[in-house]
Structure 1
Amino acid sequence: MSKSPAQATLDKADKKANSSSGWFSSATSKFEEAGDLYQQAANQFKIEKNFKAAGDAFAREAECRENGKENNEAANAWWNAAKAYKQGFPQLAVQALAQTIVHLTQAGRFRQAADREKEIGQIHLQENNDLRKGMRELRESGTANACYKDAADLHADLEEYPQAIARYEQVANHSLGSALTKYSVKEYWLRSGLCSLAMKNDTVSAKRNLAKYSNQDPSYSSTREAKFVQALIDAVEAGDQEAFTGAVVEFDQVTKLDNWKTGMLLKIKRALQDSETDAGIL
């Protein structure tokens, strides 16, 4: 049975990597040539949809790049390995991303390292449904604002609302300092407000935080987000499910609610219903 083009190229790469350096060639050039062949084999395996073999070949390319002191190329090869492994081999993808992060950190490419950390968090979340591990990975990569926000969302999913609020406030505080990101602050404060209300319908914390945010940015109180939180607080305090639903519908008509906010609002409404039931029993 004849070998596939990818396997034939892989065999050539192995032979080159394991060869002894001749009189007219250096060890560095040997590893460089072997790395090029492993990369070629990996891309051929991808065409064949053999993603495990592709990831393995990219990993072997990365090792050749490391032996040849080509650290930038090694980082790229590990990342390519991770992308191949993502097609059904999440744990191997995490290991390859961890190697990528080592090289990026050593090169001072911290933003890219943070992005790779975020990928690890997302793999734990999507592939393994491991919320806590994913949250920890995202938190450790918190040099990027998006990572703090994702970590906050995960805290909220775990119903760890004080931690979620602290993270949203962290992102908002960071965003206030830049004209480019200041527009997004009202979104983070809205999410914080929903977390307060989900915390056993804690209107005291929600009102206190609403006042605090308005002091930090006087324009916040006039936003639709702030008015929405205030309307929800009023409805919860009054035990008025109709007013609560009305506020949600009105907000959604202008600004479509995403899945996360919808889930949080359902939690708050269920707690509101439960408190009304308890009041009826008493």
Structure 2
Amino acid sequence: MGDQGQKGVQFLEEAQKKLKNTQGFLSSIFGGGSRIDEAIDLYVRAANSFKMAKKWAEAGNAFIEAAQLHLKQNNKHDAGNFKTIELYQDMGRFTTAAKHHISIAEIYESELVDFEKTVLHYQTAADYYQGEESKVSANRCLLKVAQFSALKADFQKSAEIYEQVAGTCIESPLLKYSAKEHYFRAALCHMCVDVLNAENAVKKYQDSFPHFTESRECKFLQTLINKIEENDAEGFTQAIQDYDSISPLDSWFTNLLLRIKQNIESEPDLK
């Protein structure tokens, strides 16, 4: 393994010993926190040793352990900094870098609820996968970018990504039927901005993918567009309930649909 690799292993073992010593009741009162800080330092030293030994996976895992401990200590900004894995890009290990950026994104998504950082790291992971021509993995990350971009009200970016992924799915016999889901989400993003944008988008999707025309998603979108044009918030809500009773909508959809409904209710009634 080499000297640096052996040092990395030793630092890991020392870090784990420090953590075991923080688990007792007395330790939690007398110095438990300082031992956790020492364990974090040891994990970082282990990661740096593994980097020098070109043990990329071990280095990444050690950084992740340090970051997780920082999260427990509520040092949230430090947690993000420890998990910046730029060294993989320098070494051409794009797939490894992508996986670690996904790990970072998942922490920001679930632990820190920071959508901006979540989007940043999923986008970086997607870029790395694209560098390796890993389209399926890149698309998986891009869909996460689209999901959280919409929740940040960046509807244009979200719609463009869903359309891009749908376009790649259409080219694949195995994936083409998943395109309707992506077009569905893209149209709702357009609808959050302007009903005319949504109407034009749906027509474009029908031209690109004729199977979309007869789908429940497309018919639902057309119903929603009609209700918006009629300024019928009650009918809009009923259409959602009817659709949801057969095809349950997750929180992402309900978040966007609520926003669209609020837009209808804020419009003056011209009837």
Measured against the shorter chain, the TM-score band is 0.7 to 0.9
Higher Rg of the two aligned structures: 1
| 1:89 and 2:75 matched | yes
Aligned to 2:204: 212
Identical aligned residues as a percent: 29
Q: Which amino acid aligns with 2:266?
A: D
**For residues 255-270 of structure 1, what are the structure 2 equivalents within 5 Å?**
255-270=247-262
- Give the Cα–Cα distance (whole angstroms) in 1 for the partners of residues 225 and 200 of structure 2: 11
3-state SS of paired residue (2:84): helix
**For residues 83-232 of structure 1, what are the structure 2 equivalents within 5 Å?**
83-87=68-72, 88-99=74-85, 101-103=86-88, 105-126=89-110, 129-142=113-126, 143=129, 144-199=138-193, 202-232=194-224
| 1:55 and 2:49 matched | no
**For residues 226-241 of structure 1, what are the structure 2 equivalents within 5 Å?**
226-241=218-233
- Give the Cα–Cα distance (whole angstroms) in 2 for the partners of residues 226 and 215 of structure 1: 12
3-state SS of paired residue (2:222): helix
**C-alpha distance 214-51 of structure 1, shift in aligned 2 (>3 A):** farther
- Give the Cα–Cα distance (whole angstroms) in 2 for the partners of residues 172 and 52 of structure 1: 46
| 1:38 and 2:11 matched | yes
Q: Which moved more, 1:40-49 or 1:235-244?
A: 40-49
Equivalent residue pairs, number: 248
Aligned to 2:134: none
3-state SS of paired residue (1:219): helix
TM-score normalised by L of structure 2: 0.78
Instruction: Provide, for residues 21-64 of structure 1, a one-character-per-residue CA deviation record: whole Å limited to 9, x for no partner.
Output: xxxxxxx8543333222111233344446654443222111222
Q: Which amino acid aligns with 1:38?
A: F
TM-score normalised by L of structure 1: 0.76
- Give the Cα–Cα distance (whole angstroms) in 2 for the partners of residues 212 and 75 of structure 1: 44
The offset of 1:129, in angstroms, is 4.8
3-state SS of paired residue (1:172): helix
Checking the alignment, whether the CA contact within 8 Å between 1:46 and 1:84 is kept in structure 2 is no
Q: Which runs of 5+ in 2 are unaligned?
A: 24-34, 130-137
Instruction: Provide, for residues 48-98 of structure 1, a one-character-per-residue CA deviation record: whole Å limited to 9, x for no partner.
Output: 466544432221112222344444433333334334434333333322321
**C-alpha distance 279-184 of structure 1, shift in aligned 2 (>3 A):** same
**C-alpha distance 184-82 of structure 1, shift in aligned 2 (>3 A):** farther
Aligned to 1:274: 266
CA-based RMSD of the aligned residues comes to 2.7
**C-alpha distance 211-112 of structure 1, shift in aligned 2 (>3 A):** farther
